[in-house]
Structure 1
């Protein structure tokens, strides 16, 4: 991730707003704790979890206590295996300011655990007043002062440790009482939408930028953070509109912007759009005062040869930026312009286009019921690029799983009275709840395909008493190559301590356990398995079953 802040001049001009495609997202709740197992064969502790790294040497953190692993503990069969498979990849932790949640403690837990692992976590900061304009993900701080206190708690929890911060999904895409500089009505208010009576229409939009600017200043002031603001996505705001909002919110002091949070736009389209937004920010902050973001080319500019449905034609927009840089005597340098990170958690198959043209209530004469909510648990999607800080494009810092794949977007009615989702014929789980059917679609529709496990682990508590417990584990080679030496790693969640063990060498550091092979059980041919065990001490029981594993950074399946 970029560590050097990019310094640019600031303008306050606003562009004309463009009509986007349908784009609303759902947030997930604060991550809960669960117990996980990690298996790194022949590599030792430093090999877990293995992810691609960028030149600065950063590796993305896999949370062994994620809500995905917690969901897997309550599942069986294929659904359990798929949850384990998804949970073995780095996903974001959402800090939502929910009452009863200790924001500082959760930020500290995540960043300390990642630091100990030598990797970097992704934190989503999501508590703006009137977030999601009081829709499905309604909530947030009551006012600016409470929001700033929330941000202070996040900053205190992170401290000087490394973190990627995704700052307020929808925060710039949906702004209460927002009006572009030319006085026209922004798409968000058509007609009268996102104009909450509780807010002052004269100051609400400015308050949003004040809140985000405070968060940028506070979080970029930490030693180890990379901070990204909401840039929407390639079927939402025009590049100029997005750039204007980003500049007003302080993107010049941040590391850049994020795209596609909890959405489905294709990576190729997002990459092109990221370049346009980056170029527009550069032109409107480095160019003459008269060049405002409204002059930036976008997917809505109507350029000759451009077809929004055919990404192969999108070079027409790039050509316009090339000409603009030249005419202003500026040099395009995307390596040093604002960068982007992309949410690839569910975009492997791109956006859903299979909704009925007339909606799910045809013939009722009410056009307001025709919205198919293509963003809400669309069928037949797949995960996209797995999380990585190595990408092929200079303007894209990372592929991240910001939305946790497998968690529901909410109970989707698609213009009907519900409670069933008319597309799926079932009642969808509430927002943030685990959705096994959708998780299955995301796994089977993954593009590129997810690597299947080549190992399996079983973990069984045979007995427990007030001061301890006894456990047996199995390790099985489910791949096609012989394993010559293995290390099994897992994490306790309640302060359990291993007292005695057999058939392996065991090392415990804090809550982290490494069990290594002995000479006689080091080799596992395809299909073979071995077993070992231990006696643990605990005053709170053995904790949750340790069901979730990683092999060389990739998830294993579960035996039994």
Structure 2
């Protein structure tokens, strides 16, 4: 009989106690894992925000059904450090909310991760569409974010998809590229407003290594103000492996250093090169110490099983990024990656929350891979949450 970890045992004992309390609910479930959340903060140095209330409801339902290990897994997932997202609040609201979280993180001696998601035309106005109405409105919103952070420490994931998916990519721009030019103005403004804050570190968007080549994303980073930011991030809300992400990050950082010394990004090795060839090129052309290069962070929230490979020829638009089946949680967040360029492995996407309505080129309304209608983007997805817990790699619960 395998032994279970002390932390898991405590979670299971607490969950078992819920079964004997007819009025037990979300508040009691929250109390059960409070100590575990504190332990996770101390272990990683990263902030654990309030969890989606739906995670507590699901854990309570699983506990009542006798599925204690699954319930403990959901709670552990919900109380792992992850980003706090902002994007639909007014300036006064976002200033107040960020200030509250920053203060709470400071009290816990933990580093908060803020994912800012309010750029005009975000997500090409698709599943996660919305954002500010125009550049002036966006600047006012960023000003409020800056006031909320103040002098406290914060890691800022600036506008997912803002550079990997500019308006020109969506077919939504005019012949003059007006909206794309505005996008770069907006991202640059945010960098210049947030990076100078005493404790803030700002990272810019690169999509993921299965999307843009190094040669195509580096010019966008340069236009977006990477020279004045701490660095960049990759794999937000996607499923690329840790190995692919760290290699992509190294290639991008090296290419930026090469361009900074007068090189052309078109000459840089990209992720499709044989690694031995790319490494030889880097050794010959990039002789800059890591301390003088741009750093990066990665998202490991749902990449434990790597990307999903759709059945060949089954779908006209497989949407491999959209609630793919049979994925698992990835490695736990940490500020200790062992790589001088890799500042942190984070859970940027909130695991358990849906990517949106995935039709995969069919008329729907059901997701043909799941046989059900997926929840709207950002809503809790119990079936996917349970998959992520059960298929986590490494396991979310110690002791197997």
What TM-score comes out, normalization by structure 2 length? 0.86
Q: Which residue of 2 aligns with 1:359?
A: 314
- Maintained 8 Å contact 1:73/1:80: no
- Whole-angstrom CA distance in 1 between matches of 2:294 and 2:226: 8
Distance change (3 Å), C-alpha of 1:156 and 1:100:
closer
- Whole-angstrom CA distance in 1 between matches of 2:387 and 2:280: 38
Q: Which residue of 2 aligns with 1:66?
A: 51
User: Unaligned 5+ residue runs, structure 1?
Assistant: 1-33, 53-58, 178-187, 189-193, 307-313, 326-330, 361-369, 455-560
Q: After superposition, what is the alpha-carbon deviation per residue over 1:187-234, rounded to whole angstroms, capped at 9, x for unaligned?
A: x3xxxxx1326x673322221111101000101121111110002211
Q: Which residue of 2 aligns with 1:346?
A: 302
Q: Which residue of 2 aligns with 1:255?
A: 230
RMSD after superposition: 2.2
- Whole-angstrom CA distance in 1 between matches of 2:177 and 2:305: 42
Q: Which residue of 2 aligns with 1:473?
A: none
Q: Which residue of 2 aligns with 1:108?
A: 99
Higher helix share: 2
- Whole-angstrom CA distance in 1 between matches of 2:40 and 2:301: 21
1:432 aligns with 2:378: yes
- Whole-angstrom CA distance in 1 between matches of 2:289 and 2:92: 43
Map 1:448-459 onto structure 2 (within 5 A): 448-452=394-398
2:117 maps to which of 122, 126, 142: 126
Q: Which residue of 1 aligns with 2:151?
A: 160
Q: Which residue of 2 aligns with 1:493?
A: none
- Whole-angstrom CA distance in 2 between matches of 1:269 and 1:66: 29
Q: Which residue of 2 aligns with 1:136?
A: 127
For 1:390, what is the secondary structure of its paired residue? Answer: coil
1:51 maps to which of 39, 43, 59: 43
Q: Which residue of 2 aligns with 1:85?
A: 76
Count of residue pairs brought into register by the alignment: 365
Q: Which residue of 2 aligns with 1:4?
A: none
Query: 1:97 deviation in Å?
Result: 2.7
Which one scores higher on RCO, CA 8 angstroms, separation ≥ 6?
1
- Whole-angstrom CA distance in 1 between matches of 2:114 and 2:120: 19
What TM-score comes out, normalization by structure 1 length? 0.62
1:202 maps to which of 177, 191, 196: 177
1:336 maps to which of 292, 299, 314: 292
- Maintained 8 Å contact 2:357/2:376: yes
- Whole-angstrom CA distance in 1 between matches of 2:253 and 2:71: 41
Distance change (3 Å), C-alpha of 1:70 and 1:421:
closer
Higher strand share: 1
Query: 1:264 deviation in Å?
Result: 0.1
Query: Bigger radius of gyration, 1 or 2?
Result: 1
Query: 1:451 deviation in Å?
Result: 2.7
Q: After superposition, what is the alpha-carbon deviation per residue over 1:258-311, rounded to whole angstroms, capped at 9, x for unaligned?
A: 0000000000011111000000000101x23xx2212211124xx5xx2xxxxx
- Whole-angstrom CA distance in 2 between matches of 1:163 and 1:453: 33
Map 1:326-475 onto structure 2 (within 5 A): 331-353=287-309, 355-360=310-315, 370-452=316-398
- Whole-angstrom CA distance in 2 between matches of 1:131 and 1:109: 26
- Whole-angstrom CA distance in 1 between matches of 2:377 and 2:270: 32
- Maintained 8 Å contact 2:55/2:78: no
